[in-house]
Amino acid sequence: QSVLTQPPSASGTPGQRVTISCSGSSSNIGGNYVYWYQQLPRTAPKLLIFRNNQRPSGVPDRFSGSKSGTSASLAISGLRSEDEGDYYCASWDDSLGGRGVFGRGTKLTVL
Amino acid sequence: EVQLVESGGGLVKPGGSLRLSCAASGFTFNSYTMSWVRQAPGKGLEWVSSISSNSYYIYYADSVKGRFTISRDNAKNSLYLQLNSLRAEDTAVYYCARDVLAKIEFDYWGQGTLVTVSS
């Protein structure tokens, strides 16, 4: 069982807005930054959102992140077919001496 | 251009050992925490281990503690992961990643190296 809880799947049609949730606890999301990684088919993961709501250069502003308490969410607006892939939330967890934790991932399907 | 290139993966029997390497270039290697993240076939990402820039701070996932050892050689711009007492469940693609904030902020990833543990 993963420390961070994400829905296993999400879907939307082109142009729609979808959100993916990520739930944690006070030892991870509640006290540390949240990150979102995008993994497109057959590629290495890519940093999509860092420090809760910041976008690396080159990431379209269609992607946005937010955090509230021990939960976070990723929103994708203007959905495009090339957004289809897996999305993972991640955070540092201060328990057990410190460790990185990922959600199990959400598979996004563009219908 | 930042580049991370993993090597050392392969097929190994249960109980065996393997040493993974990650060659870094295009940035000041000794200024960054580095990490290993793995992904079992068809599964999600799992953080494995992190090592601070001067090797002072080292962290491991519970699933590998006592069996895997992370290390680095800043003179060679290289990161390593020694895998011992390997189990079938260690079968995965192992990615090397640069950690900006030393707390799972991975801004660059390698392409990964596949480790298969099977008899």
**pLDDT tens digits in sequence order for chain B, 119 residues long:** 999 999 999 999 999 999 999 999 999 999 999 999 999 999 999 999 999 999 999 999 999 999 999 999 999 999 999 999 999 999 999 999 999 988 899 999 999 999 999 99
- Gap between the Cα atoms of A22 and A105, Å rounded: 9
Closest CA to A93 of A22, A23, A10, A33: A33
Please name the amino acid found at residue B63.
S
For residue A22, the chain B residues in CB contact (below 8 A) are none
DSSP string, B48-97: EEEE-TTS--EEE-TTTTTTEEEEEEGGGTEEEEEE-S--GGG-EEEEEE
Phi and psi at residue A57, to the nearest 5°: -60, 140
What is the pLDDT, as a whole number, of residue B37?
A: 98
- Gap between the Cα atoms of B56 and A58, Å rounded: 33
For residue B35, the chain A residues in CB contact (below 8 A) are 100
Best mutation target, B5, B68, B104, to test chain A (most A CBs within 10 A): B104
Structure tokens at A19: 């959100």
| Interchain proximity A88–B106, CB inside 8 Å | no
| Interchain proximity B103–A103, CB inside 8 Å | no
| Interchain proximity A99–B100, CB inside 8 Å | no
| Interchain proximity B106–A39, CB inside 8 Å | no
Q: Are B94 and B48 in contact (CB under 8 A)?
A: yes
Q: Taking CA atoms, what residue in A is nearest to B37?
A: A100
Residue A2 predicted with pLDDT over 80: no
Q: Taking CA atoms, what residue in B is nearest to A38?
A: B45
Q: Return left, alpha or beta for B8; rule: phi > 0 is left, psi -120 to 50 is alpha, else beta.
A: left
| Interchain proximity B104–A90, CB inside 8 Å | yes
Of A53-57, A58-62, A92-96, B89-93, where does mean pLDDT reach its minimum? A92-96
Chain A / chain B CB contacts < 8 angstroms: 66
% of chain A with per-residue pLDDT over 90:
95
For residue A86, the chain B residues in CB contact (below 8 A) are 44
Q: Residue A43 contacts by C-beta under 8 Å, 6 or more apart in sequence?
A: none
* DSSP-based three-state secondary structure for A70: coil
- Gap between the Cα atoms of B32 and B54, Å rounded: 9
A96 shares contact with chain B (CB less than 8 Å)? yes
| Interchain proximity A100–B47, CB inside 8 Å | yes
- Gap between the Cα atoms of B46 and A90, Å rounded: 10
- Gap between the Cα atoms of B59 and B62, Å rounded: 9
Closest CA to A73 of A15, A10, A27, A12: A10
| Interchain proximity A86–B44, CB inside 8 Å | yes
